[in-house]
């Protein structure tokens, strides 16, 4: 939120709140004489109860409305407002808002003032009274019930309204907070009514006889909610662990991890570092919730920044506010970050990475969230190692060990998938295939040796990759055969690419250092290639027919006509 908007909020509160309180005092004319001890006792009780909130998202749910309910029924609106406002201040002291978040205090004071007044007007409109007369008749259940419902409804729907208008955040009108409000109201408001009844009968002793159990109930509700929250986090953690155990590459593992972390933890920034040497680590994944920072290129040593300090100390750290870690700031530290969790990723008792998350709020994390991140960090360490093993195994099964190009198994699978996609989506574009075979390659092996032949194949693969770039998918299809698939290329474009490839091959000889010739220095080996071109849907209807047509064009149109040339399947059809 901008500084200007915060100033406006404080000015609005400074103008509206005192005038409203003074106006209500004049209108309601509350009687303090003879009631001061009881009112102070209620204030103390409400303040203690406010120290046991349930944290639902960004909004704490607390149980002082039970105490305020009893005060309203007996003493009236003004004292209920005093109780509610003091309870809010006690809650603020409990959650320890940072200086940058203090603007939330006037917002909540005004919101609860508004809720109290509107609910009271509903109560008065239905004939509600105060003191012992509040429950004189059976019909009094109507204003009392409507007052309680007004409190719940106004409280719940004012929160998303304020989020949308002031914070510019989208928030659901009915969410978990609404459910918890209903559940706590179903428990707390009846207790508040009992507190009113006992106080009416026994006076201040009734506050202690009901208030002490009320405090215990608030504490137990908070513990129950926290326990449920921990269990929910552990369940989420287990599911994330299962997700990370699939056959995934490193990128997929990091994508899943970051997505889940930002969904279950209150994070504004995520940094994941990979330890690449004994004194160096690099950033491999970054997340910025605001979207204002691009993926930075960060390389850190030990003791540098929060992450480097975690690496050096070899232990997890939790900083609740910026002043605790300001000595670790560097050029890449988020300017508005406050809370920080930083943990090492360990594998086989060795630190292999660092996870550091930042929140723009002070004291944003609980101890159990620290534990959750540690567990997930261990999952991530195992998942990344498995992903790298999977990528190596996958590459070995898909790649030619000599040339580094895709092998024929991968290529045929890719070709089949491409044609299935074309058929499924009913695409009408062209797909061309270029097939080349080195001319007289056996004589190269016989003259210079098989090691030289391998050198030529590896060098040719490099030339083809340089010539093609990212325009198509290149594979070693056989011993000395190479194939290039060009989606979106028509016959003319594919033929032009084939001629370009031929020029790259014959443009200069290949060097061989492992030859068997009786000479010093490298041997210069000149080779040529016969190239065939076919295009879908002009020359075929099926995926593997495209290979067959290019193969026919290469053998009949190029090799049988003298080699070292490009032949298209259309030319072959004309000849036939």
Q: Residue 74 corresponds to which tokens in the numbers above?
A: 């007996």
- What lies within 8 Å, CB to CB, of 116 at 6+ separation is 68, 72, 77, 80, 81, 84
Rounded alpha-carbon distances, angstroms, from residue 533 to 157, 419, 546 = 68, 18, 9
DSSP secondary structure code for residue 365 in this structure: -
CA separation for the pair 175, 229 (Å, rounded):
15
Q: Is the Cβ–Cβ distance between 451 and 520 less than 8 Å?
A: no
Q: Among residues 396, 480, 481, 508, which one is catalytic?
A: 480
132 flagged as catalytic: no
Q: Residue 39 corresponds to which tokens in the numbers above?
A: 């009112």
CA separation for the pair 248, 103 (Å, rounded):
46
- Classified as helix, coil or strand, 180 is helix
Question: Could you count the other beta carbons within 10 Å of the beta carbon of residue 116?
Answer: 25
Rounded alpha-carbon distances, angstroms, from residue 165 to 87, 132, 268 = 25, 41, 21
Reported as type and span, the H/E element at residue 340 is: strand 339-347
DSSP string, 461-474: HHHHHHHHTTSSEE
Which of 148, 13, 24, 125 has the alpha carbon at shortest distance from 82?
Answer: 24
CA separation for the pair 326, 88 (Å, rounded):
31
Q: Is the Cβ–Cβ distance between 273 and 296 less than 8 Å?
A: no
- What lies within 8 Å, CB to CB, of 375 at 6+ separation is 237
- What lies within 8 Å, CB to CB, of 520 at 6+ separation is none
Burial track 415-446 (b if 16+ CB lie within 10 A, e otherwise): beebbeebeeeeeeebbbbbbbbbbebeebbe
| Largest interatomic CA distance in the chain | 120
Catalytic residue positions, numbered = 480
């Amino acid at each position: 939120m901008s500084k200007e908007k915060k100033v406006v909020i404080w000015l609005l509160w400074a103008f509206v709140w005192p005038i409203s309180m003074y106006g209500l005092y004049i209108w309601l004319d509350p009687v303090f004489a003879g009631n001061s001890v009881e009112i102070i006792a209620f204030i103390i009780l409400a303040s203690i109860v406010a120290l046991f909130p349930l944290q639902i998202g960004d909004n704490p749910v607390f149980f002082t409305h039970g105490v305020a309910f009893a005060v309203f029924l007996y003493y009236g609106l003004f004292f209920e407002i005093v109780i509610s406002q003091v309870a809010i201040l006690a809650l603020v002291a409990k959650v320890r808002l940072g200086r940058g978040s203090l603007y939330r205090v006037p917002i909540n004071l005004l919101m609860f003032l508004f809720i109290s007044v509107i609910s009271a007007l509903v109560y008065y409109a239905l004939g509600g009274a105060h003191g012992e007369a509040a429950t004189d008749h059976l019909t009094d259940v109507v204003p009392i019930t409507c007052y309680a419902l007004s409190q719940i409804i106004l409280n719940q729907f004012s929160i998303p309204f304020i989020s949308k208008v002031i914070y510019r955040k989208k928030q659901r009108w009915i969410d978990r907070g609404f459910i918890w409000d209903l559940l706590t109201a179903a428990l707390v408001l009846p207790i508040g009514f009992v507190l009113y009844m006992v106080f009416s009968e026994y006076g201040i002793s009734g506050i202690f006889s009901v208030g002490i159990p009320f405090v215990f109930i608030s504490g137990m509700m908070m513990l129950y909610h926290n326990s449920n929250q921990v269990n929910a986090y552990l369940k989420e953690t287990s599911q994330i662990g299962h997700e990370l155990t699939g056959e995934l590459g490193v990128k997929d593992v990091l994508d899943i991890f970051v997505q889940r972390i930002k969904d279950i933890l209150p994070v504004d920034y995520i940094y994941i570092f990979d330890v690449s040497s004994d004194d160096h680590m690099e950033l491999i994944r970054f997340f910025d919730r605001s979207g204002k920072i691009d993926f930075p290129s960060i390389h850190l040593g030990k003791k540098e920044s929060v992450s480097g300090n975690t690496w050096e100390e070899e232990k997890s750290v939790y900083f609740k506010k910026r002043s605790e870690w300001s000595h670790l700031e560097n050029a890449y530290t988020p300017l508005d970050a406050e809370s920080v969790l930083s943990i090492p990723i360990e594998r086989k008792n060795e630190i292999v990475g660092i996870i550091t998350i930042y929140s723009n709020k002070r004291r944003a994390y609980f101890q159990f969230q620290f534990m959750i991140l540690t567990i997930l960090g261990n999952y991530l360490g195992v998942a990344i190692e498995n992903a790298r093993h999977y990528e190596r195994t996958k590459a070995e099964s898909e790649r030619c060990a000599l040339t580094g190009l895709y092998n024929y198994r991968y290529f045929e699978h890719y070709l089949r998938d491409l044609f299935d996609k074309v058929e499924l989506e009913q695409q009408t574009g062209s797909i061309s295939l270029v097939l080349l075979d080195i001319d007289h390659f056996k004589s190269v092996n016989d003259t210079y040796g098989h090691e030289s032949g391998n050198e030529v194949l590896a060098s040719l693969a490099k030339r083809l990759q340089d010539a093609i770039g990212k325009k198509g998918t290149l594979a070693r299809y056989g011993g000395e055969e190479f194939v290039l698939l060009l989606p979106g290329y028509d016959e003319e474009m594919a033929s032009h690419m084939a001629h370009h490839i031929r020029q790259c091959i014959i443009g200069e000889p290949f060097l061989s250092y492992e030859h068997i010739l009786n000479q010093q220095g490298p041997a210069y080996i000149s080779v040529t290639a016969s190239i065939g071109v076919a295009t879908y849907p002009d020359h075929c209807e099926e995926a593997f027919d495209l290979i067959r047509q290019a193969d026919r064009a290469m053998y009949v149109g190029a090799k049988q006509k003298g080699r070292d040339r490009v032949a298209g399947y259309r030319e072959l059809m004309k000849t036939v």
